[in-house]
Amino acid sequence: MYRGSSPMTAIYTLCLAQLKRKKLQNILTVLLIALSTLLMSTSMILLANTDNVFLDMHDKTNGSHELLLLDQGIHSPDAVRKWWSEQDDVAATPLLPYRTISKVSKDGSVISNVFVYLMDTPSEPMMVDRPLVVDGTPNIQPPPGGIWLSSSLANKQGIEIGDRLEFEHGSRTFELAVSAIVIDLPYGAPFSTSSRIWMNPEDYKGYLSTGASDSYMLGLRYEASADRSLLWEQFESSLNSPYVETKLTYEEMSSFYLILNKLIGYLMIALGATMLTIALITIGFTVSDAILTQYRSIGIIKSIGMTSNGTLAVFLMQYALLAVIAVIPGLALSGLISGFIMDGTLSNLRTGQEDAVTFQGAAMLSIGLLVLLLVSGCTYAVANKSRRIMPAQAIRYGMSEEDNARISKRPAGWIRLDRFSPAIVLAWKNIKNHQKGSWLIFIITCVTAAALSFGYTLVNSIASIDQRAGEWGYDSSHIAAIAINPASFSRDAIVDALEQDSRIRSYAWLSTVNGVVVSDPPLNINISALEGSFEDTGLTTIQGRNPQLRNEIALGVNVARQLNVGIGEHAEVYIQGVKRTFVVSGIYQAIANMSYSARISAEALQDGKGASSFNPDNAFINVNDLEQADSIAAEYDERFHNSMTIVTQKQLLDSVFKEATSLLILPMGFIALLFIAVSAIIIYSTCKIGVRKESKTYGIYKTIGLTSARIRLSILSGIACLALGGAIAGVLVGIYVLPGSIESLLHGYGIQYLPIVLDWGGIAAAAAISVIPAALGSWLSSSLIASTSPRSLIID
């Protein structure tokens, strides 16, 4: 047979026969490899494009590396602008006058949890941080009566060109129409609660001429970012003090543009690698099973001239060809899927159709080659066993003589099966006789349950952030009151109302000031000064406690890490230009400001003479009956609407994190569907192999009276119990182990550990869903038993 033809022709013929003989199994293998490739390639495209899209937009807008907010009157804005404009390697914006406002309405409804900077647009084109028009007519300035709105605020609130927004400033209320939507990089990140609105200079002067004086912004762009430290040393030397007003750095500006895609990308890499591992295990199992079931055939082929290398080459060619067929569509689809995900997560940076996803050809090719090499390597390692097949033994025993002797001497099982019904015996034997396949089913169900339960828990934890708000760095008080109009705001008026209201349990007042921590280099941070109890507001720490004394301070984890200080050690901080020394009483985590923040008591703002600069503009209010929180908030908001915005804390958190939840649902749902599909593919293929190997046994059972349905239900029940055990183990991994896999990514964002919210109903549903592919796969794979006569099964 083979002596008359070339070895390659024989190998090719056998490979083709294998592909034709096991069409369904080969199709399932292709799907499994394709899905693994798809997941890993999508993650690489996401990670690469996330950085590239932001960097490209930063270059297009000539974005700043630092944004100075001169709002406390400590440094002279003109002097600061003059010094930076004289530096050859620095491009700077003009001084940008602005006023802050907290109350903006659309169609009579207040846009909650938005802190707005109303900007006086320069008359000349901005060379740094220039707004890039997404929708509307590009111009140097908004027209009279018009405003430019950032894409982040417009996307989140559903605001379009022509919509009119109402602003309250002092005793004046005015309306302006949206004339353009722009990309405003420093204040355009997802989940941002601050936004810049650009006004026509005449409108700015006309509507905002009364009240407090202007504050100023100054954007700085460095030709070489390595020069930043040296320039800042020279700048602060010119001030004769540290710069102690507010500063927004490039890292802070970019962080929340990138966090979501990085989170999704890292998860996809981890789960894609897991899926590829499962694919390789499945291929190894399939090849090993093929060698065992075709042991006699391989022996015959080798006896008539086929070499050991030839038989090995048949398996290698088969699975290399399947891998090539699978990798190409997997890579192609990854661009489409990543585009869908990025359309949502990076929509704030999109200017139109020209912002297409870059396919990252080199990275995709590398992933394709890696998958091909791993599949070929796995096939070689397992198929290498075929070298040891001895033709004589294979033809006589259908296995090696050693294996035949071991099976002949195998003792009876330790379980007395005669005590159980035939259905239970059949289910047990199906698991026991196919231990490799049973372990594979257990593992794949475990991994699927882990992925589903973790994905659900992650999305649910962000959607239910109000339940563990303190561990994210937010307060968990029932109601938040935010001052919006300094001219009409009266702290005494609202305190009197709260004191006389029997429904109110407690309240505390908060003031936020800028601070500079003495370190190398100096660190600008936000400091929260509270008059009242930190514990009552729900602000928690992960080490130590919140400050109680005037000389105590609690530090965000990133501040404590940079200072390398712990509980009981000292930290020096400039507050309002005065250097103070504090004892570190606690360390906390907060995703807001990436934990570059601190907490002190209101008394700590007193100077050496006992005078206090505590000027609170926020109140945290707790009620006796939580069910009344909505109605109380609405009542107080109506009563003090001219000076404060008063809403429930849940409303504030939802306004930020509903966006994150909606953006996570698509990729996490995509991953869940992939794992369910892979689980079904593997389990169906594995069960099909088991049914074919035991067809003779099932034929005998049918001849003695067991119906096809009873046999199939018995097989199904055994596989379902096995899968249920895997699902339980997977749930424990998904909710207690996998959250740690993303904590290293969150450390840079100020989160030391991920506060998860466990919804056992949803988790149980995720576990049940992971068992369904196993039950369905085992039932469908046993259809052969119902469609074949007992005699044919025995002959097979």
State which of 191, 226, 244 marks the end of a domain. Answer: 244
pLDDT score for 791: 60
User: Tens of pLDDT along 90-129?
Assistant: 999 999 999 887 678 888 787 877 888 999 999 888 889 9
User: Tens of pLDDT along 23-60?
Assistant: 777 787 888 888 888 888 888 887 777 777 888 888 98
Q: Is the pTM of this model over 0.75?
A: yes
> Between 229 and 427, whose confidence is greater?
229
Residues 458 and 593 both lie in one domain: no
pLDDT score for 399: 52
Average of per-residue pLDDT across 659-687: 82
Q: Is residue 738 in a domain? A: yes
Spatial distance between the Cα atoms of 483 and 642, rounded to a whole number of angstroms:
9
pLDDT band at 788 (very low <50, low <70, confident <90, very high): low
Of the ranges 75-89, 216-230, 724-738, which one carries the lowest mean pLDDT score?
216-230
Highest mean pLDDT: which of 261-265, 411-415, 567-571? 567-571
pLDDT band at 1 (very low <50, low <70, confident <90, very high): very low
pLDDT score for 510: 92
Q: Is residue 31 in a domain? A: no
Residues 684 and 744 both lie in one domain: yes
Q: Is residue 701 in a domain? A: yes
Residue 70 pLDDT > 80, yes or no?
Answer: yes
Rounded to the nearest integer, the mean pLDDT of the chain is: 82
Residues 680 and 748 both lie in one domain: yes
Highest mean pLDDT: which of 60-64, 242-246, 347-351, 584-588? 584-588
State which of 218, 244, 270 marks the end of a domain. Answer: 244
Structural domains in the chain (count): 3
Q: Is residue 212 in a domain? A: yes
pLDDT band at 423 (very low <50, low <70, confident <90, very high): low
> Between 574 and 21, whose confidence is greater?
574
Residue 4 pLDDT > 50, yes or no?
Answer: no
% pLDDT > 70, the chain: 86
pLDDT band at 586 (very low <50, low <70, confident <90, very high): very high
Average of per-residue pLDDT across 707-712: 81
**CA nearest to 426, candidates 709, 176, 715:** 715
**What backbone phi and psi angles, to 5 degrees, belong to 475?**
-75, 155
pLDDT score for 260: 75
Which amino acid is residue 612, in one-letter code?
A: S
State which of 244, 275, 300 marks the end of a domain. Answer: 244
Residues 739 and 769 both lie in one domain: yes
Q: Is residue 231 in a domain? A: yes
Residues 542 and 671 both lie in one domain: no
Helix ranges restricted to H, 384-415: 391-397, 401-408
**Cα Dmax for the chain:** 107
Residue 3 pLDDT > 70, yes or no?
Answer: no
pLDDT score for 208: 84
Spatial distance between the Cα atoms of 739 and 733, rounded to a whole number of angstroms:
9
Residue 715 pLDDT > 80, yes or no?
Answer: yes
Residues 492 and 446 both lie in one domain: no
Average of per-residue pLDDT across 65-83: 91
User: Tens of pLDDT along 590-613?
Assistant: 988 889 999 999 988 876 544 467
pLDDT band at 765 (very low <50, low <70, confident <90, very high): very high
The answer to whether 421 touches 325, Cβ cutoff 8 Å, is: no
Residues 756 and 613 both lie in one domain: no
Residue 625: CB atoms within 10 Å: 11
The answer to whether 32 touches 319, Cβ cutoff 8 Å, is: no
User: Tens of pLDDT along 371-399?
Assistant: 889 988 888 888 787 766 666 555 554 55
Residues 628 and 658 both lie in one domain: no
pLDDT score for 609: 47
CA quadruple 656, 662, 664, 665: dihedral sign: positive
Residues 634 and 657 both lie in one domain: no
Spatial distance between the Cα atoms of 90 and 222, rounded to a whole number of angstroms:
5
Instruction: Give DSSP secondary structure letters for 295-364.
Output: HHHHHHHHHTT--HHHHHHHHHHHHHHHHHHHHHHHHHHHHHHHHHHHHHHTGGG--STT-PPP--HHHH
pLDDT score for 2: 46
Q: Is residue 704 in a domain? A: yes
Residue 178's contacts (CB-CB under 8 Å, 6 or more residues apart) are: 136, 146, 147, 148, 149, 154, 159, 160, 161, 162, 163, 164, 165
Residue 414 pLDDT > 50, yes or no?
Answer: no
pLDDT band at 420 (very low <50, low <70, confident <90, very high): low
Q: Is residue 631 in a domain? A: yes
Spatial distance between the Cα atoms of 682 and 71, rounded to a whole number of angstroms:
62
Range of the domain at 694: 420-470+652-796
Residues 739 and 618 both lie in one domain: no
User: Tens of pLDDT along 179-236?
Assistant: 999 999 998 887 777 899 999 999 999 888 766 678 899 999 998 776 788 898 899 8
Residues 482 and 594 both lie in one domain: yes
**Taking CA 371 as the corner, what is the angle to CA 367 and CA 376, rounded to the nearest 5 degrees?**
150
Residues 767 and 688 both lie in one domain: yes
Q: Is residue 238 in a domain? A: yes
pLDDT score for 152: 86
**CA nearest to 459, candidates 737, 759, 679, 728:** 759
Residue 404 pLDDT > 50, yes or no?
Answer: no
Residue keyed to tokens 């060809």? 321
